[in-house]
Amino acid sequence: MNRTDRLYALVEELRAVAPRPRSATWLAARFEVSTRTIERDISALQQAGTPVWAEPGRTGGYCLDRSRTLPPVNFSPDEAVAVAVALHGAVGTPFHAAGRTALRKLLAAMRDDDAAAAQDLVSRVHLVGADPDAPVVPPLLTDAVSARRVLRIRYTDRDGRSTTRDVEPVGYVGSTTGWYLLGWCRLRDGLRAFRLDRVDRVTATAETAPRRTVHPGDVQVPEGDLRTLTFL
């Protein structure tokens, strides 16, 4: 078990017995590591904001504040397959890789029988036609947009002209013809939408971009009016 998986498993173990404690010795035996490793793992969880604390005494150990953490999400097999079908539409978007990772986490959190039922159901869902060719969006670009890091890109416009630009990433625009990086172009001193399949090279700088408020009416794209995505 790697450290990331162990940290997740530690939280789940402490959640399962909360508010009772687990000793470092017990946890070390459970995860087949040293008590020193458990102590370092607990320290890492605390520094990340996980509500874990040490309870002193002969019967003490580490406790988790269950009220401040979320329990595992219980998806039904139908719900898991619905997510898989929805994520199929994310091919070619900046969120395709993250979606696949999220789906794997979802399946790992499900009960074994529900996960098996979901695997059976998804094997009975069939699609017609090949997936369209989609640009490979560099993880560097998607990570930089999330972190608001200024990007230096080489971009080829519709007329085949290439330019190198520093861009303050604002977000994305999805349309019927493809996905665009939405950003403040310092070369043009204005808001621009860059087609992702025309971004030839990208470098994330150490500079944090300022926050910019963008209204859908500020962005001009030929496909139609913009709508802002929400969770509702």
Residues 41 and 85 reside in one and the same domain: no
What was the pLDDT predicted at 189? 92
Residues 160 and 192 reside in one and the same domain: yes
Residues 109 and 147 reside in one and the same domain: no
Query: d(Cα 223, Cα 116) in Å, to the nearest integer?
Result: 42
Residues 13 and 62 reside in one and the same domain: yes
For 11-52, what is the HEC assignment?
Answer: HHHHHHHCCCCECHHHHHHHHCCCHHHHHHHHHHHHHCCCCE
Residues 39 and 90 reside in one and the same domain: no
What was the pLDDT predicted at 132? 56
pTM exceeds 0.75: no
- Is 162 part of a structural domain of the chain? yes
What was the pLDDT predicted at 229? 66
- Is 96 part of a structural domain of the chain? yes
Residues 157 and 207 reside in one and the same domain: yes
- Is 224 part of a structural domain of the chain? no
What was the pLDDT predicted at 29? 93
What was the pLDDT predicted at 152? 95
30, β-bridge pairs: none
Tell me which of 48, 68, 88 is where a domain ends: 68
- Is 61 part of a structural domain of the chain? yes
What was the pLDDT predicted at 6? 87
- Is 226 part of a structural domain of the chain? no
Q: In CATH, what number is assigned to the domain containing residue 149?
A: 2.30.30
- Is 62 part of a structural domain of the chain? yes
Residues 177 and 210 reside in one and the same domain: yes
Q: What is the domain range of residue 154?
A: 139-218
First and final C-alpha spacing in the chain: 37
Q: In CATH, what number is assigned to the domain containing residue 20?
A: 1.10.10.10
The number of domains in the chain is 3
What was the pLDDT predicted at 60? 81
Residues 32 and 86 reside in one and the same domain: no
- Is 33 part of a structural domain of the chain? yes
Query: d(Cα 191, Cα 183) in Å, to the nearest integer?
Result: 6
Residues 144 and 214 reside in one and the same domain: yes
Mean pLDDT, each 10-residue run in order, the chain (232 residues) = 84 85 92 92 87 82 74 76 84 81 80 85 74 67 87 93 94 81 92 90 91 74 62 53
Residues 114 and 166 reside in one and the same domain: no
Residues 100 and 143 reside in one and the same domain: no
Closest to 216 measured CA to CA, from 150, 178, 157, 172: 172
Distance from chain centroid for Cα 163: 30
